[in-house]
Amino acid sequence: MKKYTVQLVVPSDLRGIKQEIEKIQSYRSEQVFLSVSGVCDNIKSFQDWVQLNEVPNFILIFERVLLARANREKAREELLTIISNICFRGSKIICILSEDASEELLPFVNELTKLGLQNFYFAKEFRSENLVDWIFGEKSLQDNMCYLVRQTKFDKEKEVPIEVIKEVPIEVEKEVIKEVPVEVEKIVEKIVEKKIMVPTDAKLMGKITLGIFNLARGAGATTTAISLAENLQSLGYDTAVISMDDKIDLHYLDKKKNAAYIIPAPGEKRLKLLEAYKNDYKFILLDFGNLFDILPTGQLKTDRLTEKEYEIEEFFRCNYKIAVGFSDEWNAGKLNYFINNPAFDNLETFIFSIRGLTDRIAKQYNLNFCSSTDTALEILLMWLGIEQNRERLKGKDRKAAFSFLFN
């Protein structure tokens, strides 16, 4: 049985949700036990709770808790600040928004997506049967694109300068899920064989490539890529980040960044990567986002692999790989996918950056672990034998080197 803790941020009339959550006993035929660690009915108590308590597995926030505030817009800004402080600490954050105020909430939704938080839902009223899907369900940026498009159209109508979504088509076609034949080919193993046939080694071109990907949605692959790029650039190495997961997150960066950020248009990934190879970059970081859809049991969902064949091929060509994940039991089990898997016979080139890394996980899995981006950078520099520059990461210089992230 898997045990999880849940923190609630709900209006006072919904405090009964606590009992409903603790009634949940299974998810997808697996037994689960949910305990509510606390209930907050206003933003101030939630903020105090965050500062004084351990972060739980799930935080369920009802935006309606802000109704008591006279200045609702300011209250949402305060809530976003709290969320931004905890969204990379290992908790899964779920926001339930009022369907009646969907247009009013579009700017708030826009800010949530900028934080990498995609698990938000619009609901007219609370229904206990939705709790399981809210808590355990996973949404992606693609699922929420319709809200971003609506916000873009709204901004255009008001003639407000658009700061975030610049290249989103007005009409987004509904995603078509293709049926997968029963005999699913082991695409990963196929691509590993192809890699041997096409030995393109960036090192021979005087470049180092890093493939960065999430073990769980929202774990922070893009944030890690940005942080590494800015610090490598600060150490004197020209660095580029290329988005390989068809997301627009890198559009959110301000213009003060020093590394180069490349967002290929549809169908231009190969071209942009070749251009980066021809450039003078020493490091090329490929942000693959959610490249592998891994179940908590460590099994790989193969229904979307055929759509990612090119990305997986480029991933295996990278000199080094960084996996970004969480340490809770629900996500730690995904590490089993990499153990004794013939497709990953070069795990010595992987760094597993796990937020909240515990001794138990480190002992259970014989992998190259770290618990933060700066430690991952130190490991990488050590592997590359860059000792002289590594000294600059000590003391005040080290602190300054890691001050770039979303300043």
Burial (0-12, 13-18, 19+ Cβ within 10 Å), 246: middle
Instruction: Please indicate, yes or no, if residue 60 is contained in any of the structural domains.
Output: yes
Residues 34 and 123 in one domain: yes
Check which CATH number belongs to the domain holding 103 and give it.
3.40.50.2300
Check which CATH number belongs to the domain holding 230 and give it.
3.40.50.300
Q: What is the pTM of this model?
A: 0.51
Q: How far apart are CA 234 and CA 229, in angstroms?
A: 9
What's the total number of domains in the chain?
2
Q: Chain-wide mean pLDDT for the chain?
A: 77
Instruction: Please indicate, yes or no, if residue 76 is contained in any of the structural domains.
Output: yes
Residue 393 DSSP SS3: helix
Instruction: Please indicate, yes or no, if residue 167 is contained in any of the structural domains.
Output: no
Q: Is the pLDDT of residue 131 over 60?
A: yes
305: domain range? 187-401
Q: What is the pLDDT of residue 163?
A: 41
Q: Which residues pair with 26 in a beta bridge?
A: 31
Q: How far apart are CA 148 and CA 106, in angstroms?
A: 7
- Domain-terminating residue out of 137, 157, 177: 157
Residues 250 and 152 in one domain: no
Average pLDDT over residues 56-81: 87
Residues 251 and 377 in one domain: yes
Q: Is the pLDDT of residue 401 over 60?
A: no
Higher pLDDT, residue 281 or 171:
281
Tokens 């908590």 belong to which residue?
A: 296
Residues 305 and 394 in one domain: yes
Distances in whole angstroms, Cα of residue 182 to Cα of each of 162, 198, 375: 45, 29, 43
Q: What are the pLDDT digits (tens) for 183-236?
A: 444 445 444 443 333 333 444 446 899 999 999 988 889 989 999 999 999 888
The DSSP 8-state label assigned to residue 298 in this structure reads S
Q: What are the pLDDT digits (tens) for 333-354?
A: 899 999 888 888 889 899 999 9
pLDDT band at residue 387, thresholds of 50, 70 and 90? Answer: low
Residue % of the chain over a pLDDT of 70: 74
Residues 6+ apart with CB under 8 A from 360: none
Instruction: Please indicate, yes or no, if residue 68 is contained in any of the structural domains.
Output: yes
Residues 340 and 285 in one domain: yes
**Of 7, 81, 112, 28, which Cα lies nearest the Cα of 297?**
28
Q: Which residues pair with 363 in a beta bridge?
A: none
Say if residues 40 and 46 touch (Cβ distance below 8 Å). yes
Instruction: Please indicate, yes or no, if residue 149 is contained in any of the structural domains.
Output: yes
Sheet containing 2-9: which strands, arranged edge to edge?
26-27, 30-40, 2-9, 58-62, 92-98, 120-123
